[in-house]
Amino acid sequence: MAAMGTVVCLLGLLMLMQEVKGGQGLGNDGGDLWQEFLRLPTENGGTKWALLIAGSSGYDNYRHQADVCHAYQIMKKGGLKDQNIVVMMYDDIAYNPKNPRKGVIINKPNGGNVYAGVPKDYKGKDVNKNNFLAVLLGKKSALTGAGSGKVISSGPNDHVFVYYSDHGGPGVLSMPSGEGLYANELVQALKKKRAGGAFLNLVVYLEACESGSIFEGLLPSNIGVYAMTASNKTESSWATYCNTPGYTTCLGDLFSVAWMEDADPRRPGDRQTLAQLYTIVKKRTTSSQVKLYGDLRLASQPVSLYYLPPGPGITSTASGAILTDDEEGRRGGGVDQRDAGLVYLWREYYEEKSVEAWERILREMERRSRLDTSVDLIVGDLLSSKAQLLQVRAGQPLVDDWDCLKSMVRTFEAHCGPLGQYGMKHTRAFANMCNAALDHHHMAKAASKACTMHPPLITY
């Protein structure tokens, strides 16, 4: 009789699950209950969650979406269910006319198709700052657009992994649509999620130029958040695999492929710690300084709490994937993220040998020159010295007044055109203007004069 009762209960549960999945019988919260039931337990009884975002668009930025697709495959290998993974990517690469393998995205030369099976929860213009923060905070009501509606509905015993790959600048991360994500906005969201008891521990990997500036002086050391960045607060991160036959674009990013190609061969139960991974990634990321921020006590935790496959504990191998000589040669020292666009234009010209392709290179170089000149003129007008422009504050946030910085950027762009992926490097100059007690009124006057003399060009 007990066995019969168990069967009846299981059948009833399955019927209830089917109703929830179909959105019947349990009102508007049905989807949340279904997601709750499917949570994947971690080694301490909590659940693994992952938020993966590529913050760019365009075939020239192929590598960022390739990174995120590769990360998704690692999450799946690690046992995470799709219900616990949120992927945000523009999704204009796999079937791009310039992609030599339609429907296929690779993250290294001769690599497998990392695009296969990837759920595009938010794509196109739905990949923006508002939706990223809504997903991170688990706030479905704040979502806009036509995405899947999935959010990180994590609880107090859960482990959350966040991975971002794209362009950045001092204190800001790019988004393919709308305004960039500023450092204080990300850190405030992490604090808010912690205060709401929405995770036990959270790990962030950040691939972007000046990515250390997102956390330095801002991320507390006592809220269970551990961050690893591709670069420090003053240097670029680097693209890699930029010389692959048939491709005019870079396939990956140096920091990103370092951690992912280490994860690829690892077996279930590998007890590699976050500290061991940091040592490996730091050694392999040869063109920038990989940095750690936040709660460094988490460094002793196994990576399997977040995304490596669980299983019986085994001794961690010293390193992950070993590159072949051919792969190592194609990876090379990498290309500065901000120059990767020029490399792409040059490769396009080399393939086409057309006047139009050459003119695209010249236009982009002239646009960069005008942008740099405009900022120099504004700085000369507003700051007493170039040293003040380049001032780097040790151990402190980039700027005291983040609203001032945002206003400075908006005012500059209103007069001089968008900063774009290259021009984001100038946000430090704008931050130092704010730190010198200047405001957007000063910027408006100086920018109006500078950009009348040097009007902006539209990029390729």
Q: Report pTM.
A: 0.87
| Closest listed residue to residue 343, CA positions, set 238, 196, 209, 231 | 238
Question: In sequence order, which ranges of 78-205 are alpha helices (DSSP H)?
Answer: 129-137, 183-195
Of these residues, 209, 242, 404, 416, which one is catalytic? Answer: 209
Active site residue 167: yes
Active site residue 209: yes
| pLDDT recorded at residue 455 | 54
The mean-pLDDT minimum among 2-11, 165-174, 262-271 falls in 2-11
Of these residues, 70, 167, 415, 426, which one is catalytic? Answer: 167
The mean-pLDDT minimum among 74-83, 121-130, 163-172, 432-441 falls in 432-441
Residue matched to tokens 């500023």:
182
| pLDDT recorded at residue 380 | 86
| pLDDT recorded at residue 42 | 53
Average pLDDT over residues 350-363: 91
Signed CA dihedral, 23, 29, 30, 35: sign only: positive
For 190-230, how does the pLDDT look when each residue is reduced to its tens digit (9 = 90+)?
A: 999 999 999 999 999 999 999 999 999 999 999 999 999 99
| pLDDT recorded at residue 391 | 86
| pLDDT recorded at residue 384 | 75
| pLDDT recorded at residue 353 | 85
| pLDDT recorded at residue 14 | 35
For 283-328, how does the pLDDT look when each residue is reduced to its tens digit (9 = 90+)?
A: 999 999 999 999 999 999 999 999 999 877 555 554 544 444 344 4
Tokens at 58, concatenated? 């365009």
| 459 CA to centre of own chain | 23
Q: How confident is the model at residue 335 (pLDDT cuts 50, 70, 90)?
A: very high
DSSP string covering 443-459, please? HHHHHHHHHHHS-----
For 228-274, how does the pLDDT look when each residue is reduced to its tens digit (9 = 90+)?
A: 999 999 999 999 999 999 999 999 999 999 999 999 999 999 999 99
Q: In the chain, pLDDT over 70 holds for what percent of residues?
A: 83
| pLDDT recorded at residue 381 | 87
Q: Is the pLDDT of residue 41 over 90?
A: no
For 383-418, how does the pLDDT look when each residue is reduced to its tens digit (9 = 90+)?
A: 877 677 778 999 999 999 999 999 999 999 999 999
User: What domains are defined for the chain?
Assistant: 43-310 (3.40.50.1460), 369-451 (1.10.132.130)
Tokens at 349, concatenated? 């010209």
Q: Count other C-beta atoms under 10 Å from residue 237's C-beta.
A: 30
| Closest listed residue to residue 229, CA positions, set 215, 211, 216, 202 | 211
| pLDDT recorded at residue 8 | 34
Q: Is the pLDDT of residue 447 over 70?
A: yes
Listed in sequence order, the residues at least 6 apart from 130 whose beta carbon sits closer than 8 Å to its beta carbon are: 142, 144, 178
H or E element, residue 173: strand 172-173
Give the span between the Cα atoms of 295 and 220, in whole angstroms.
7
Average pLDDT, the chain: 87
β strands within 222-318, DSSP E: 225-229, 238-240, 252-253, 291-294
Give the span between the Cα atoms of 262 and 386, in whole angstroms.
42
